Amino acid sequence: MSKLQDLIKELCPDGVEFMRMDEVFEMRNGYTPSKANDRYWNNGTIPWFRMEDIRQNGRILSDSIQHITKEAVKGGRLFPANSFIIATTATIGEHALIIADSLANQQFTNLTIRKSLVEQILDKYLFYYLFIVGEWCKNNTNISGFASVDMSKFRKLEIPIPPIEVQNEIVRILDIFTSHAAELQANLQAELQARKEQYEYYRNKLFTFDENDEGVKWMKLGEIGTFVRGNGLQKKDFTEAGVGCIHYGQIYTYYGTSTDTTKSFVPYDLAQKLTKVKSGNLVIACTSENIEDVCKAVVWLGEEDIVTGGHACVFAHNEIPKYIAYIFQTEYFFQQKKKYARGAKVIDIKMSDLEKITIPVPPLSEQQRIVSILDKFESLVNDLTAGLPAEIAAVQEQYEYYRNKLLTFKRIS
């Protein structure tokens, strides 16, 4: 750190130059060649990146899961090696350095360093700074159906460009930080994964009933309770206080199996127009980007009624609430919901199809016994305030703090 401080003191004591994103980068949109045209996909050799590539292979990508042919490339122009892709819609802010000539789907915008700046700016410096840009993107979106980054503001966003020697030292430090943090997180993640697999094993086992088991009824969800579809509610409707609300996107990004508090609120007058959620009801995400998340459910256990909106539904019933929520997480339920999932880019399940899904319904005392066991497992595995997830989050938070501190500069006057 002292070497970096010495370099800053020597080379840029009064601050550094800031440049607009569109001054630093040439920007192009990704796209998806027609899936109906086999010539674009069969025996393809050109990497074509999706979010799955980042999730599976990290943020420095040399090859992709799927490939396209040269014939599929519009105008013959590829995203050049040592450029970047950043998600400007759907999973906003995720980015990667691509080190091979390639393309990406329309979720991504490609950022290529302008030729006049290649000698002045390190691609690895920009790679690290794009973490900050990614956070900015999440807070600067246009809402219309699915959120997307406000590209007009994105182009004008200014980023610091310190001297190349300073960039080099920042990259060296962050490479070390990243390696150490990644190693520690990998060890924690491995232990957490082992516990999750143990949890899933026992969860599936607890819900394994024989059709002849005494007291166990096999019932369709439509026989157990009633579904009501949500309506309205956009993120722009959120307020600091008011009536609690659960947005469908929060069900698979924020909440666990149950909650008695809400992350968000809406004004009282708007709440009158939205779908009500009573204590014990399940709020179910009926829409998602993947089959794993669709139908994820959270039980509302608060004393006051709250509301939910579109792309979600409310399930009211007389069973133990968390018993129903836990069964939504089982392999047994997953195999059934797959049959009713519709869509490609966006997965949706109708309430009329949810009503057809069959589940085992034991006596309430047995339901409570199962819930008590699974609550202990979930607390160990998923509670973000204690245990391994908290350790992993603390490592990540510390890493992000130092990374952002290293990348913060005074603007030259």
Closest-CA residue to 148 (of 238, 50, 29): 29
Number of domains in the chain: 3
Closest-CA residue to 22 (of 173, 184, 133, 170): 133
Looking at the structure, do residues 86 and 1 belong to the same domain, yes or no?
A: no
Looking at the structure, do residues 55 and 151 belong to the same domain, yes or no?
A: yes
Domain coverage including residue 268:
217-361
| pLDDT at residue number 386 | 65
Q: pLDDT digit of tens for each residue in the chain (413 aa)?
A: 589 999 999 999 999 999 999 999 999 999 999 888 889 999 999 999 999 999 999 999 999 999 999 999 987 789 999 999 999 988 899 999 999 999 999 999 999 999 999 999 999 999 999 999 999 999 998 865 567 899 999 999 999 999 999 999 999 999 999 998 888 888 888 887 888 888 888 888 888 887 777 889 999 999 999 999 998 888 888 998 999 999 998 998 889 899 999 999 999 999 999 999 999 999 999 998 888 889 999 999 999 999 999 899 999 999 999 999 999 999 989 999 999 988 877 889 999 999 999 999 999 999 999 999 998 888 777 665 567 777 888 888 999 999 999 999 999 97
Q: How far apart are CA 333 and CA 222, in angstroms?
A: 15
3-state SS class at 265:
strand
The answer to whether position 293 is within a domain reads yes
| Domain CATH for 111 | 3.90.220.20
Looking at the structure, do residues 306 and 339 belong to the same domain, yes or no?
A: yes
Looking at the structure, do residues 149 and 223 belong to the same domain, yes or no?
A: no
Looking at the structure, do residues 308 and 383 belong to the same domain, yes or no?
A: no
The answer to whether position 120 is within a domain reads yes
Place of tokens 């995400």: 285
| pLDDT at residue number 35 | 86
Looking at the structure, do residues 156 and 69 belong to the same domain, yes or no?
A: yes
- Which residues 6+ apart lie within 8 Å of 266 measured at CB? 233, 237, 238, 239, 242, 243, 245, 274, 307
The answer to whether position 209 is within a domain reads no
Could you report how far apart the first and last alpha carbons of the chain are, in Å?
25
Looking at the structure, do residues 243 and 345 belong to the same domain, yes or no?
A: yes
Q: How many residues does the chain have?
A: 413
The answer to whether position 211 is within a domain reads no
Looking at the structure, do residues 299 and 269 belong to the same domain, yes or no?
A: yes
The answer to whether position 210 is within a domain reads no
Q: How far apart are CA 362 and CA 98, in angstroms?
A: 53
The answer to whether position 410 is within a domain reads yes
Give the Cβ contact number of residue 341 at 10 Å: 16
The answer to whether position 212 is within a domain reads no
| pLDDT at residue number 334 | 93
Looking at the structure, do residues 228 and 191 belong to the same domain, yes or no?
A: no
The answer to whether position 310 is within a domain reads yes
| pLDDT at residue number 208 | 87
pTM, two decimals, is: 0.63
Looking at the structure, do residues 11 and 72 belong to the same domain, yes or no?
A: no
Task: Report residue 165 as tokens.
Answer: 């020697």
Between CA 196 and CA 203, with CA 199 as vertex, the angle to 5 degrees is 140
Looking at the structure, do residues 334 and 226 belong to the same domain, yes or no?
A: yes
Q: How far apart are CA 14 and CA 411, in angstroms?
A: 8
Q: How far apart are CA 358 and CA 224, in angstroms?
A: 10
Looking at the structure, do residues 11 and 142 belong to the same domain, yes or no?
A: no
| pLDDT at residue number 214 | 80
